[in-house]
Amino acid sequence: MNETTAVNVKGEEAEKSKPKSKQRLPRGRVTLFPNWCKGCELCVTFCPTQVLAQGPNARVIVAHPEKCTACRWCELHCPDFAIFVTDIESEKSDEVEESKEKTQ
């Protein structure tokens, strides 16, 4: 049987692509103070992952918390300081810490 190898334009063997591991994005937890929010929608309009949405009474709600990447755009641009974001540690780092505790 003939074995074929991928060759690039220059005639050199192309590197075999390795399966790329999925890189985890940073995660954040959005906390919103609804009484402070005036409903300007800056955070809703510019959130890169659409975490926030317009809710009842023209107030903002955290519609998709699992999408938050902790970019803090909402926190930095809220004119009423009605939003803050806290970092969530990744599951992988939690597992590493647990294994370190077990070995000690």
Report the pLDDT value the prediction gives residue 74, as an integer from 0 to 100: 96
Cα–Cα distance between 99 and 83 in angstroms, integer?
A: 35
**67 within some domain:** yes
Residue 100 has pLDDT above 90, yes or no: no
Cα–Cα distance between 30 and 72 in angstroms, integer?
A: 9
* Domains identified in the chain, total number: 1
Helical residues (DSSP H) of 5-65, grouped into ranges? 42-46
Q: What is the CATH number of the domain that holds 81?
A: 3.30.70.20
**58 within some domain:** yes
The count of other CB atoms within 10 Å of the CB of residue 40 is: 15
**11 within some domain:** no
Cα–Cα distance between 69 and 84 in angstroms, integer?
A: 13
pTM (predicted TM-score): 0.61
Report the pLDDT value the prediction gives residue 57, as an integer from 0 to 100: 84
Quote the domain boundaries for residue 50.
35-85
**90 within some domain:** no
